[in-house]
Amino acid sequence: MTPESIETVRPSSARAEQDKSALHRLRSIFSGSVGNLIEWYDWYVYSAFAIYFAKSFFPKGDETAQLLNAAAVFAVGFLARPIGGWLMGKHADRHGRKSALVFSVVLMCLGSLIIALTPGYATIGIASPVMLVLARLLQGLSVGGEYGTSATYLSEIATAKDRGFYSSFQYVTLIMGQLLALGLLILLQRVVLTSAQLEDWGWRVPFFIGALCAIAAMGLRGKMDETREFKKAKTGAQDRGTLRALFSHPKAVLAVIGLTMGGTVAFYTYTTYMQKFLVNTVGLGKDQATLVSAASLAIFAMLQPLVGAISDRVGRRPVLMAFGVLGTLSTVPLLTAMSQTHDAWTAFFLNVAALVIVSGYTSINAVVKAELFPAEIRALGVGFPYAVAVSVFGGTAEYIALWLKQAGHEAWFYWYVAGCIFCSLLVYATMKDTRQHSRIAD
């Protein structure tokens, strides 16, 4: 073999290895993202179908009171998220991102099955809402661990130049999970079942589907590659995955809580609560509210990779600042205008405008948090403080909104959302740009 032919073979072999590595990376990103989609579908099915099953699990009363009870259980699920973020974040930092992601799907599957199989209040009395709470606690543990581990995995598996783009798929699949839940609701509402059938037994169908899909996700995640970042940290750090190690980075922990506060309140206001807001306040029918929510979420999902890619070019901080400024200034006008209209198209465009702004947070919040921590505590660092912030602010947003409405002060909630976003804006204005100061190795 001549020297020229050797030089020809070497680049070809190197390219083949690069192509193989890129293919493995894409397969892992796909498997992680699909599993994330199924997990969040299971989580959001509860909210999407609450307007139908609230009557089954709780005593008779007015519709707002029943929805308030369902929202309270939704919030209870959030209480388990910090525990899930701690337990599975610790597991992911010690034993691998892959095994933690598989375990989170198992918990979600169990929660969905319990909800699907539990008899109503009229049959077993108080045991019915108790079982519902148990199921939501299991699902809370699941998503509490899912977020931090998934954010860490997607951020580590991507390359530095496209980390914002690929990590944005965590929220693409999160939103798509919510959209699938709404899409199934639309299908059941308009094609398969009558309203009476949905309220009687049809609401159980999506929980059975979620449990079956979770089993498929276990298989996909079992074939994912582990990240190089974890493999390197595994042999180098003795104190990995502990709260002591986590709290040795207090600024990063507080940054996660602060930057999450406004974003999570805004996200849950314009997504999970919006369907109820459109029915209870705007006055749309349940079918119309579901369509408006689904169409808005479809556009929202498509925005995530675009804004994530922008952050790869201009940095994370300018994108977060845009959300903070626009969210603070526009929340009260947007929600007030929405509450005063009774037109579905107007409500749709106003909600889309709000979600365009919220994309400045949702598209990059995962990668920003991952870039704040070293590999040996990254999953715990992303998942635990984030879960605390989401439990306190995101999980209670719907309950606070309904409680203030029932008290006759619904507009106070608009100011509450704007105030939370402003608090996060103060964090964005003072933090470093994590793209330029990333703790993830290139």
Tens of pLDDT, residue by residue over 330-353, are: 999 999 999 998 898 999 999 999
Residue 183 has pLDDT above 90, yes or no: no
Taking the C-alpha atoms of residue 27 and residue 320, their distance in angstroms, rounded to an integer, is: 29
Identify which of 385, 380, 386 has the alpha carbon closest to the alpha carbon of residue 100.
Answer: 380
At 156, is the pLDDT very low, low, confident or very high (cuts 50, 70, 90)? confident
Q: What are the structure tokens assigned to 72, written together?
A: 């309270």
Which region, left, alpha or beta, applies to residue 159 given φ > 0 means left and ψ of -120 to 50 means alpha?
Answer: beta
Task: Judge whether 383 and 183 are in contact, CB under 8 Å.
Answer: no
The pLDDT of residue 362: 93
Q: Where are the domains of the chain?
A: 26-430
8 vs 248, residue with greater confidence: 248
The percentage of the chain sitting over the pLDDT mark of 90, rounded to a whole number, equals 22
Taking the C-alpha atoms of residue 292 and residue 17, their distance in angstroms, rounded to an integer, is: 47
93 vs 327, residue with greater confidence: 327
Identify which of 87, 49, 4, 57 has the alpha carbon closest to the alpha carbon of residue 384.
Answer: 87
The DSSP code for 315 is -
The pLDDT of residue 94: 84
The pLDDT of residue 350: 95
Identify which of 131, 4, 3 has the alpha carbon closest to the alpha carbon of residue 73.
Answer: 131
Q: What are the structure tokens assigned to 137, written together?
A: 């606690």
Residue 124: CB atoms within 10 Å: 13
Buried b (16+ CB within 10 A) or exposed e, 339-362: beeeebeebbbbbbbbbebbbbbb
303 vs 222, residue with greater confidence: 303
Q: For the domain covering 26-430, report its CATH number.
A: 1.20.1250.20
Mean pLDDT of 298-302: 92
The pLDDT of residue 331: 94
Question: If DSSP codes are grouped into helix, strand and coil, which group holds residue 292?
Answer: helix
Q: Please list, in sequence order, all residues whose beta carbon lies within 8 angstroms of the beta carbon of residue 187, skipping any fewer than 6 positions away.
A: none
At 228, is the pLDDT very low, low, confident or very high (cuts 50, 70, 90)? confident
Taking the C-alpha atoms of residue 319 and residue 357, their distance in angstroms, rounded to an integer, is: 10
20 vs 238, residue with greater confidence: 238
Task: Judge whether 49 and 206 are in contact, CB under 8 Å.
Answer: yes
Give me Rg for the CA atoms of the chain: 22
148 vs 420, residue with greater confidence: 420
The pLDDT of residue 178: 80
The pLDDT of residue 162: 83
The pLDDT of residue 97: 84
pLDDT digits (tens, 9 = 90+) for 38-90: 878 887 788 778 777 777 777 666 556 666 666 667 667 777 888 888 888 88
Q: What are the structure tokens assigned to 162, written together?
A: 């496209």
354 vs 28, residue with greater confidence: 354
Taking the C-alpha atoms of residue 364 and residue 167, their distance in angstroms, rounded to an integer, is: 7
Task: Judge whether 188 and 198 are in contact, CB under 8 Å.
Answer: yes
Taking the C-alpha atoms of residue 107 and residue 105, their distance in angstroms, rounded to an integer, is: 5
Task: Judge whether 228 and 21 are in contact, CB under 8 Å.
Answer: no
At 311, is the pLDDT very low, low, confident or very high (cuts 50, 70, 90)? very high
